[in-house]
Amino acid sequence: MRPAVERAERRVAESDFALSVVEGLSGPHKSLPCRFLYDARGSELFEDITRLPEYYPTRVEIALLEAHVEEIVQGFGEGGALVEFGSGSSRKTEILLARLPRLSVYAPIDVSKAALEGASRRLSGLYPALSTRSILGDFTHGVPLPQDVAEIRQLGFFPGSTIGNFDPPEAVEILGLMRRTLAPQSAFVIGVDLKKDARVLVEAYNDSAGVTAAFNLNLLARANRELGADFDLAAFRHEAIYDPLKGRIEMHLVSVGEQTVELLGERFHFRPGERIHTENSYKFSIEQFSDLARAAGWRVSRFWTDARGWFSVFELR
């Protein structure tokens, strides 16, 4: 891409971040949208999280995909397209691709151009016959498929339980957008984190090495880097709690003392103990997720869970 276009794109992205930060810190309940956790540094830290002993979702989901891949891809592949929503590093995709030798197209959708380029380079090395059609876009807004992908059979893929980052009404909206993105008759494979002992959940988001804390605090570091904010990272601490009524993990950044932060000419005051809500991660029962999928117009055709019932992979149609 031309350098001028790249610079303009970066300014647009920065002003989206700027507006969201000012908006999020202005109300009585401070919050920042979790999508901003994933800049280059944040994506690196998230990769580290997936390798933590306490963070079970990635490992359990990969084991499920590996154990059931034959069934998952059964009857699919001949000349079709694998469409992945929020593909990131595309690590889980490889499990499916290894069993889809006659797939025509891999179509990853992501907001990060760097992630798309990296994954495309790696996968074309592994599967020279596969053509990758990267789609730069935000799946929460609905992304139309390019003509050549739209015309062939599709298998949708949305691993990672990213659906849990959205409030239930939003999750229904997004699952509906994905249903309308894919051609009728398409199958859609989605990873869903399940309800379990609160201690296991809280530890997964409060690891002893402090990687999740660094991931959360990177949001403030990013505001310092990109918006010239003066957040003192030592004056905030990471907090992750499980709300059993809402069925979700919440991440917060808690102001250790009284402080004022300045950014973009605005001043934001923090009381001691005041929090910035940075992420929700909903956990589902099989029934709850099935209801959500049905509300978005999907039918649950099959699902697989591990022996402990910690994670589940659903096939929707």
- Whether residue 165 contacts residue 139, with contact meaning beta carbons closer than 8 Å, is answered with no
Told to check if 77 binds ligand AVJ by CB under 6 A, we report: no
| Least CB distance to ligand AVJ at residue 229 (A) | 22
Q: Which is nearer to ligand AVJ, 268 or 303 (CB)?
A: 303
The angle subtended at Cα 167 by Cα 164 and Cα 170, nearest 5°, is 100
The single residue among 43, 93, 154, 165 that binds ligand AVJ, judged by CB under 6 A, is 165
Neighbours of 309 (CB within 10 A): 12
The single residue among 93, 120, 162, 186 that binds ligand AVJ, judged by CB under 6 A, is 162
- Restricted to residues 90-149, the positions that interact with ligand AVJ (CB under 6 A) are none
- Whether residue 80 contacts residue 152, with contact meaning beta carbons closer than 8 Å, is answered with yes
Interface stretch with ligand AVJ, choices 68-76, 161-169, 172-180, 301-309 (CB under 6 A): 161-169
| Least CB distance to ligand AVJ at residue 305 (A) | 17
Distance of CA 259 to the CA centre of its chain: 32
| Least CB distance to ligand AVJ at residue 75 (A) | 29
Q: Which is nearer to ligand AVJ, 45 or 263 (CB)?
A: 45
Q: Which is nearer to ligand AVJ, 90 or 212 (CB)?
A: 212
The single residue among 93, 212, 218, 312 that binds ligand AVJ, judged by CB under 6 A, is 212
Paired tokens of 132:
């990758």
Told to check if 161 binds ligand AVJ by CB under 6 A, we report: yes
Q: Which is nearer to ligand AVJ, 34 or 135 (CB)?
A: 34
Q: Which is nearer to ligand AVJ, 240 or 293 (CB)?
A: 240
| Least CB distance to ligand AVJ at residue 70 (A) | 26
- Restricted to residues 259-288, the positions that interact with ligand AVJ (CB under 6 A) are 279, 281
Question: Scanning the structure block, which residue is given the tokens 């029962």?
Answer: 285
| Least CB distance to ligand AVJ at residue 134 (A) | 20
- Restricted to residues 167-186, the positions that interact with ligand AVJ (CB under 6 A) are none
The single residue among 18, 49, 174, 178 that binds ligand AVJ, judged by CB under 6 A, is 49
| Least CB distance to ligand AVJ at residue 55 (A) | 7
Sign of the four-CA dihedral 133, 182, 315, 47: positive
Told to check if 160 binds ligand AVJ by CB under 6 A, we report: yes
Q: Which is nearer to ligand AVJ, 145 or 211 (CB)?
A: 211
Paired tokens of 253:
């950044």
> In angstroms, rounded to a whole number, what is the distance separating the alpha carbons of residues 284 and 75?
29
Binding-site size, ligand AVJ (CB under 6 A): 11
Q: Which is nearer to ligand AVJ, 207 or 274 (CB)?
A: 207
Told to check if 203 binds ligand AVJ by CB under 6 A, we report: no
- Residues of the shown chain interacting with ligand AVJ in the complex, contacts defined by CB under 6 A: 49, 57, 160-162, 164-165, 205, 212, 279, 281
